[in-house]
């Protein structure tokens, strides 16, 4: 087998990866279930390549080149997302707010193609009975819905009722109750939003 043919196989594998990424991103986060977009694409494509190798539809060396190319592209994709220089928004998308201040956020619901029953079902799965307790409900990169309740709707923890646990919390947190910005799970940075968009 010629080197040119192997390079063509690698180029085709990378091109199919790019095409699949676009398709999955257009279809929305709920399409990928609990996978990230590139995890789903790699799983689908690797399954197909392995199938082709097993049934001898392609030569072993050609299939190996395709698998190595897919692995390299997926690794590069994950590195780009890890560095968080904005490319992760293009590759993985951004979290989408579907409930804001106890009300449906229609724009986010349209973006994720979720109706009211979908949102209410996702809230039920998070143990929420009354949507009015929810400050934000967010569709994450992997299609799951996370919930940030209002402060008044937060569940009590041991440190709220047990003095020994309260001392332990103060010791662990250095006496600072409010988390620093880089530790907040509902900060604009964590949600990939401009600071004013959370109001």
Mean pLDDT of 37-58: 76
What DSSP string describes the chain?
--HHHHHHHHHHHHHHHHHHHHHHHHH-GGGGTTS-HHHHHHHHHHHHHHHHHHTTSS-HHHHHHHHHHHHHHHHHHHHHHHHTSSHHHHHH---EEEEETTEE-HHHHHHHT--HHHHHHHHHHTT-S-GGGEEEEEE-TTS-EEEEE-GGGPPP-HHHH-HHHHHHHHHHHTT--SPPGGG-TTSTTTTT--GGGG-
Which of 92, 118, 147 is the last residue in one of the domains?
A: 92
pLDDT of 107 strictly over 90: yes
Q: Which domain holds residue 28?
A: 3-92
Residue 93 confidence (pLDDT): 73
Is there a single domain that holds both residue 130 and residue 170?
no
Residue 170 confidence (pLDDT): 87
Q: Residue 121: which pLDDT band, with cuts at 50, 70 and 90?
A: very high
Is there a single domain that holds both residue 194 and residue 166?
yes
Is there a single domain that holds both residue 168 and residue 146?
no
């Amino acid at each position: 087998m010629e080197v040119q043919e192997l390079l063509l196989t690698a180029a085709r594998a990378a091109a199919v990866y790019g095409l699949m990424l676009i398709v999955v991103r257009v279809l929305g986060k709920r399409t990928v279930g609990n996978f990230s977009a590139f995890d789903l694409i790699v799983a689908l494509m690797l399954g197909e390549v392995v199938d082709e190798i097993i049934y001898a539809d392609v030569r072993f060396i050609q299939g190996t080149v395709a698998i190595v190319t897919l692995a390299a592209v997926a690794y590069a994709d994950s590195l780009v997302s890890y560095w968080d220089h904005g490319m992760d928004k293009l590759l993985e998308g951004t979290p989408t707010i579907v409930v804001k201040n106890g009300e449906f956020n229609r724009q986010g619901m349209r973006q994720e193609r979720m109706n009211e029953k979908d949102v209410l079902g996702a809230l039920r799965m998070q143990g929420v009975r009354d949507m009015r307790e929810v400050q934000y409900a967010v569709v994450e990169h992997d299609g799951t819905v996370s919930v940030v309740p209002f402060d008044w709707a937060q569940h009590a923890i041991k440190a709220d009722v047990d003095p020994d646990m309260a001392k332990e919390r103060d010791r662990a947190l250095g006496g600072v109750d409010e988390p620093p910005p880089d530790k907040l799970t509902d900060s604009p940075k964590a949600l990939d939003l401009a600071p004013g968009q959370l109001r």
